[in-house]
Each structure stands twice: as C-alpha cells, then as structure tokens.
Structure 1
C-alpha cells in the first residue's frame, strides 16, 4: 500500500475537509440535493449586489448603486467562463479492506464529468475509529490517507465532493460512500502454548504422555525383536546385562478454543483502557501462538448472538478467526443482548478452552459451567477492569470497595476450588507472563 507524502498545507486541507467533524460521535451531513446549486462565490457576489441595490432604494441616493457594479461585473465575467460540468460521477478505489490497528489506508476518488470544471472541494466525515491524516485534491482525483485507530468493523468514511464551474458560481455535489473496513486487533506477544493432559491422535509438535515415534526420550525398555538397533541404549544394556532401547514419547497436536466474554465493555477509570479491547488483543495473541505450532484453533464469543468458528489450522486461519468476531463492535454498536447455549461443534471433545473475561458479569459463570459440564480442560484468563475511584474521606465508599475486592477474590477462589486454572493478564505485560505458571504441569479437564 502506497502512502502519499503530505504536501505543504496538507494539515490545513485536512481541517477544511473535516469541517469540524473530527470527533468519534460525528455523523455525515444529510445527502446533498441533486443538480446544480449556487456556489459560495456566487452567493457572496449576489448578496453584495442585492444589499447595494436595496440600500440605494431605501436611502434614495443613486450613487449607492455604484457599490453593486463590482459584484455584477464579476458575476457577468464568471458566467462567460465556459460550459458548466454535467453528468458528474465519482468512483472510489480503496487500497485495502482489512488492516491492523494503527495501519494506514489509502483511498483515491476519481471524478468524471462533461464540460469544464474548476477545483474540486471535498468534505470528509471519517467513520468511528478512523482518523483522516492526509488529503490532496487535483483536477480529477481526490487522494485520502486514513488511519485505523481501533479494532472493529467500521464505516471508512463519507466524502462529499463539490465540483465547481470555472467561474465558481455553481457547484454539483456528488457523495461517495467508501464502504466498510475490518480492523484487526494487534495481537499480544505470546510464545508459550500450554497443553492439556490428553491430546488428539494427530501428529503435531507437542510431546504427549503416550509412547510414540517422537524425538524426546522418556526412558528405556527391554529390546523387542524388530526394533531398530540404532536405538539401543548401551549404558543401560551394560548395567542390566540385557539389550535396552530408548523409549520415545509421541508427538501430537492440540485443539484449542478461545472463548471471549463480550457481555460487557468495562473502561478502567484510571487508565481509560477498555476490557473489550484487551480481551480481543489477548485472544489474538493466543490464536497466533497456537497456530504457529500447527495446532487447531477455534473461537467462540458469548454475548448477544453467539458467534463461533470450529477449530482449524494454518497461518491464514488467523484472519478467519479474528474476522468472525469483529461484528461484536460495528460503528460503536456493542451488542450484548441475551445469552445463548454453546453449540456442541464449537467445543470439540478434549479441546483446551481459554476463557478471556474481566469477571464483571455473573452470566459468564453459566458459560463456565457449560464448559465444565463437557469435561473440557479450561483456563480462565482474567483481564483486570480496574477498581472504582473513590473521593478522599469517603468511608462508605472504602467499605464498598473492600466488599467489591472480597467478592472478586471469592469468585477466583471458587473457580480454583473447582479445578479451573485462573491466571491474570495485565495490560502492558506480555501474555507469556500470565501463561508461564501453566507450564508447571498439564491442564486437566473436569468431570461430566
């Protein structure tokens, strides 16, 4: 994707194109009326002429009419500037429809018309989560550079292009909708991939507890006719007096499902971080880490309509997994109505389930109970949502905060007592710091 170099005065052009509509709650103006309209220059000159003639009639002084001569002459000269543009159309070419947070998207709008036209004057209303960084207008093209600020599925922008005649008296406005853009969250850095006790019978990169044809030695055993002689362990053979050969562990792949809690979006009152943002970034890091080890990864989001994608593998599957849950945030619309049952194909038997949640909505415990009822090994990754702010001297608030902390400690204790691993991922830290304690042993599943 090519990024144009901002020309001198580009910042002023951006401010003019935005016309004050640069906040997240800005909405595009009403659709422009079809056909020709008076331009700003024609309105100014006409207003001056009318005011001068009205002043002459009111005051009864003919010399005041001389003030209208200048605007009328300019209007007459502008009317003879050539044929006005007709049949105005515009087409937009967007560089990419999928990108990550912080990446730029280039857009070129091509304007076609019949006749002669003056300069193009674009007005831009960026979508939510999108920022306009550069704008350049030529005789037939308008070039934009926009930056995706937050993950989600956003309306890219709405552009109204005013096409003036050579004299600047009339204009024809054409609206261009740039469509939607899918912005992926930046994955958290993760390299550790904890595994459950039991792994599927598929070749992979994880060392299983069963015997197999892997590369990790787990012990020795007496020689059996037909085994390879190169596997003989001579020190053990000399010590025991009989042929002993190496015993190897099998190498298997893992099935992993990342379950996202989108029941609520809690904003930390101190840092301003969104729990939904941190949840999706942690999920993207987990998905990428397991796909790199050639495991199968699926995703489930609970909250509103349950969205899920059955486990798959391959680096290209990362984009399918992330894109399947982007509908959770579409133009600042966060859908959290109701709670559906988890579909059986979404949680394969024996799959390791990561539940990423801020633990702020009690309904998530119903989901955890469903996962536990299917005997899937489960890890709860808590995303802290911050603590409520208190005013100095608020004794009742301090007591409520202590109760709030005790309630959260009780929730974690209950999960641990039921055999569920609970780890905490704090914003700003790598995901490996949260997953490291899980490497002490293998994750066990529940009971049906």
Structure 2
C-alpha cells in the first residue's frame, strides 16, 4: 500500500491548526451516523439556486442549469448500502520517550463495506508537535515530536470516512491516550559521597579498613593474612613483616529531593526552573545508578511524592515516572506542604536538594532533613536577575538588595554546615559538583 502526505489545499482546519502548533482540547465528540458531505452540499446548493432562479424569472430554459449538478448527484449515489460498522484503533509507539524524540501514531480504520477517501482532523494536546501526516486507504499515520518532559495527553484524531461518491461521510474518533516524556539528563559523572557509608559492598572508597583495592597504609602482619600483600620496603625498614592496608569499598544511599513549589522563568534566557531542576535530577540519578548505588527521589510541593532508594539501570525509569505527575497537561499543584515520610530518607543517606531557593517553604524542608542528621547538598538553580529599566535608580537599588538577600541565604546555609553549589543551565553538572570532591560530606545534627 502506498501512502502520500496530505496535500495542503485539502488539509482540514484541525490539521492546519496542529501543524501550526495550536491546541484545542475542547473539541466536542463527533455526531453519530452518516451526514451530507461537502460535495453533496455544493451540488445540491447549485441545483436549488437554479430551480429558484427558474421560478422567479419564469424562464424554463434556466432549469437546464440545474440539470448538471443533479446529474452529478445521481451518478455519485452509491450502488450499495453504506458501511454500518466503522471503527478506528490507534497504536502509539513508544509510550515512553525522552524530550526531542519522535512518537509514531498509526490509526487503522475498519469498516464492513465499500468506502471512499479518509479525511483526518487532528486535535493535539500540549507538549507535542505534529511533524508529518500520511493518509492511506485504510489507515492514517502521524509523526509527533515530544517537546517538553511531563505526562501528556496526545489528543484525538477524528477521521471522516466518505462513501465512494463523496456525497456523505461519517466521523469516527480515535483517542491517542497518554505518553510519558522523560527529561533529558544533564551530563554528570561525579558522585560525591558522605563520610560514613552503609555496610554494603560498592564502588566508593570508605574510611574504614576493608578488602578494597585502594591502599591506605601498612600495618604489622597478622597470622592468616596473604603473603602477597607484604610491603617489603616497610618490612626491611622496620625489621618486621608489614602488609598493605586497604580501604573498604561501600555503596551509597542517595536521595534526590526536588523543589516543585514554584516554576520560575528566567527573564533573560526564558528557561524554566522546573525544567532545569528535573534535568539536573535526572543526571544525578543516572550517575549514581551507574556506580551501582541506591537512589531514591522525593518531590515536595502539593502532594509529596517519593520513592524509596533502589538500584539498577531500570530503576531510573521508575524514579522519573514517579514524579512526572508534577507536570500533567501543563497543570501541576503547588498548594500545601506535608512532612517528609521517614522511609523516604534512610538513615545516613546523602540528600541532594535541587531548588531555586525562591519559596520560603523550602527552608522548612531543609530544616526537616537537617534534623534527621542526613548529609545534605543544596544544588541551586539560578533564576536570573529581575529585569531593571536603565536609569531607574529605585529598581537598581532593589536589585542590589535582592542580590544581597540571595547571598545572605547561601551564607546562612553554609554556616549551618550545608554544602551549597550553583548549577548554571547549559553547563555540565560536574562543574558544580567538582568542589565537593575535595572532602567528604558531613552529617547534620539532630
């Protein structure tokens, strides 16, 4: 079967609206049954106008003008009954994708008789863009592009099925359902760890002695230790057997806490703090899972969503899907704030708080985390300076006070022993985390 793109002159208004990026989620359901098509209305209108003109003017030859459209109507009448059962089924692949990836939609139209052409009307939801449309005898293919992360309703496609003569059509609707669009993870390879790690084997060097590969010193030989670990220079120097001392290798528990209390748009770049927060979080989650650590997630703002720490590359998708409800069809709830559930923050877990530090309620969350003695890192997402008109001295003074308040906030957090790093959008996350590798992250105090 050959498929051709829909020609522009015959494209329906809904298709043109979808191609232009406009959305109309208030479309009413199509009426049932067969209805007169555009061709039947045009020919019928010409015939009625010609008959009316003949009656008004009283000239019989004007009736000849009605003959042509009436003959065309008679020739276009179907030879048999029109299909009674017309259905449309939609297949969407994939249902989960990342930002910028394409989604293929195939709508198969089934009927129990003979029909003519198909004419689709596309009504898209938010977060997706229509890139291509192809119409065949029995199906309609669409290619969509996921533009922003979130859980999006794709929309609907109303397919007009015409009879062979094109005089009547019947509309059947195909619901496209939802897709989950994951944020593009920021590039991150560094994984800072706290001073004390859980007693589980992993890839991080701990301060305790163990059976790792990193040498931390030498100690006197104890009966039962392997002879190949003897450190001969130290043995010769001290006159007694000395063996290598190794550091233990442990795994880390990490929790990424997302501040979704507000979505602040940078007045200069137009970037969204919520977008940058989720992309940075996705990068951190992927980096720690790559080192076989256990990672959990908590989102605060409205309903608190959380997922206990787990491991494995497949766990990345569970973590991201657990917080996609924050943005569903451009609607997310930010009212209220609840206490963090104890299972969401395991004892000793390293907590990353990714926040623009614009809502005062986030400091209550920081106080809760600090009160549980968890080591904590605040990753600040800059929101840009407020726009100031040139020559407005009062606005310039207010901007200076605003910057001083931001600096005082960071200083207060660092004075309480909380590490604060700034992640600039567009830069790799490793640039912000690199200073944390100089030392281990200290625990809080209860």
The TM tier, using the shorter chain, reads over 0.9
Q: 1:331 pairs with 326, 329, 332, which one?
A: 329
The aligned counterpart of 1:443 is 441
Query: 5 Å matches for 1:227-306?
Result: 227-306=225-304
Q: Secondary structure at the match of 2:61?
A: helix
TM-score (norm 1): 0.96
Instruction: Determine whether 1:342 maps to 2:340.
Output: yes
SS at match of 2:54: helix
SS in 1 for 2:94: coil
1:56 to 54, 57, 73: 54
Query: Which range moved further: 291-300 or 55-64?
Result: 55-64
Matched, 1:196 2:229: no
Query: Match for residue 362 of structure 2?
Result: 364
Residues 11 and 404 of structure 1: CA distance in aligned 2, closer, same or farther (over 3 Å): farther
- Equivalent position to 2:16, from 15, 19, 40: 19
- Mapped to 2, the partners of 1:104 and 1:392 lie a distance apart of 44
Q: How large is the Cα RMSD of the aligned pairs?
A: 1.8
Q: Deviations over 1:396-445 (max 9, x none)?
A: 22122111111111111111111100001111100000100000100001
Shift of 1:136: 1.0
Aligned match for 1:392, one of 376, 385, 390: 390
What does residue 152 of structure 2 align with?
154
Q: TM (normalized to structure 2)?
A: 0.96
Comparing 350-359 and 12-21, the one that deviates more: 12-21
Provide the secondary structure at the position in 2 that maps to 1:63. Answer: helix
Shift of 1:56: 3.0
Worse-matched range after superposition: 262-271 or 50-59: 50-59
SS in 1 for 2:351: strand
| CA apart distance, 1:54 | 2.5
Q: Does 1:310 align with 2:274?
A: no
CA distance in structure 1 between the aligned counterparts of 2:442 and 2:348, rounded to whole angstroms: 10
The Cα offsets for residues 304-323 of structure 1, whole Å up to 9 and x where unpaired, read as: 00000000000000000000
The separation in 2 between residues aligned to 1:296 and 1:14, in whole angstroms, is: 52
Correspondence for 2:352: 354
Q: Is the 8 A contact 1:90 1:109 kept in 2?
A: yes
Per the alignment, residue 89 of structure 2 pairs with 91
In the alignment, the residues of structure 1 paired with residue 281 and residue 80 of structure 2 have an alpha-carbon distance, to the nearest angstrom, of 60
What is the SS of the residue equivalent to 2:17? Answer: coil
Structure 1, unmatched stretches of 5+, are none
In the TM superposition, structure 1's runs of 4+ consecutive aligned residues that sit over 4 Å from their partners are: 5-17
Structure 1 residues 10 and 301, CA gap change in structure 2 (3 angstroms): farther
Structure 2: distance between partners of 1:93 and 1:104: 14
Q: Are residues 326 and 437 of structure 1, via their aligned partners in 2, closer, same or farther at CA, if it must alter by over 3 Å?
A: same
Mapped partners of 2:201, 2:10: distance in 1:
58
- Deviation for aligned residue 1:139: 1.1
Give the superposition deviation at 1:52.
2.4
Which residue does 2:425 correspond to in 1?
427
Report how far residue 130 of structure 1 moved.
0.6
SS at match of 1:117: coil
Task: Please give the alpha-carbon distance, in whole angstroms, between the structure 2 residues aligned to 1:260 and 1:233.
Answer: 48
